[in-house]
Amino acid sequence: MRTVLRVENLEKFYKNKGSLTKAVNHISFEVQQGEYVGIMGASGSGKTTLLNCISTIDHATAGHIIINGKNVTGMKERSLAKFRREELGFIFQDFNLLDTLTGRDNIALALAILGEKPALIDKKIDALAAELGIKEIIEKYPYEMSGGQQQRVACARAIITDPSLILADEPTGALDSRSAEMLLNSLEMLNEKKKATILMVTHDAFTASHCGRILFLKDGKIFNELIRGDDTRKEFFLKIMQVVSLMGGERNHAV
């Protein structure tokens, strides 16, 4: 298996009026191609900081992040912008679609920026929209879509460029439970059928139970790791809940 992401001794410290917050404190882990990995932890444990460093939005204080063989920690902003476009797909809690573009054009933009031929853009979008069940809504503008529909368009936008790694930050955070489940089915499809490698931050044990592996953060460090293996989703959910309660309780979601 190929290593898509390698995080080595990563540190991110914030200095504020003499106090030092170790938001990410010596974290190391790897993600292999085709893995679906969740990051869980209490509020303030460093999840978003870690994801922002990996997504190259934030600069690490020390350590290395290697994505698809490229060390992003040393890259300059111009190379980083190109790197993000070519190698990463993003799914945010609040969808982040452009309001002035239809769903189709939001997805198309990601491909157009990479220089894809216009004739191929529509073909690729049509095929993916059918797989994600969003064919009927992609000609709509984001404000004409439900949150769940917007998030599935965001999924399509994240995968259409065939990125090495998809980064999702609380992707179900703004969705009701039915829309969340549809979104999770879409992510599962991207992972299983399209072999997408996904790293997802979530508070929610139900959402996390769709992953193949979970890293639990506490005070900026990896506190525990769970691997789903042959567990059913429900069995994995119960194991996740055990770790969550061991760590001091979290927001929950019924199985």
Ligand X SMILES: Nc1ncnc2c1ncn2[C@@H]1O[C@H](COP(=O)(O)OP(=O)(O)OP(=O)(O)O)[C@@H](O)[C@H]1O
Applying CB under 6 A, the residues found at the interface with ligand X are 14, 16, 21, 23, 41, 43-49
What is 109-164 written as a DSSP string?
Answer: HHHHHTT--HHHHHHHHHHHHHHHT-TTTTTS-GGGS-HHHHHHHHHHHHHTT--S
CB of 170 to ligand X, least distance (A): 8
Residue number, 186 or 202, with CB nearest to ligand X: 202
- Choice between 48 and 102, CB closer to ligand X: 48
DSSP 178-214: HHHHHHHHHHHHHHHTS---EEEE-S-HHHHTTSSEE
CA dihedral 160→108→143→170, nearest 10 degrees, is 30
Q: How far is the CB of 86 from ligand X (least distance, A)?
A: 26
Tokens of 129: 């929209």
- Residue closer to ligand X by CB (options 17, 117) is 17
75 to 35, 136, 232: CA distances (angstroms)? 25, 41, 41
Q: By 3-state DSSP, what share of the chain in percent is helix, strand and coil, each rounded to 5?
A: 40, 25, 35
Nearest distance in Å: CB 200, ligand X: 13
Least distance (Å) between residue 28 CB and ligand X: 17
Residue with smaller CB distance to ligand X, 45 or 68: 45
**CB of 91 or CB of 110, closer to ligand X:** 91
- Shortest distance, position 193 Cβ to ligand X, whole Å: 30
| Inter-residue contact 65 to 73 (CB < 8 Å) | yes
- The least distance separating ligand X from the CB of residue 169, rounded to whole angstroms, comes to 8
N-to-C CA span, the chain: 32
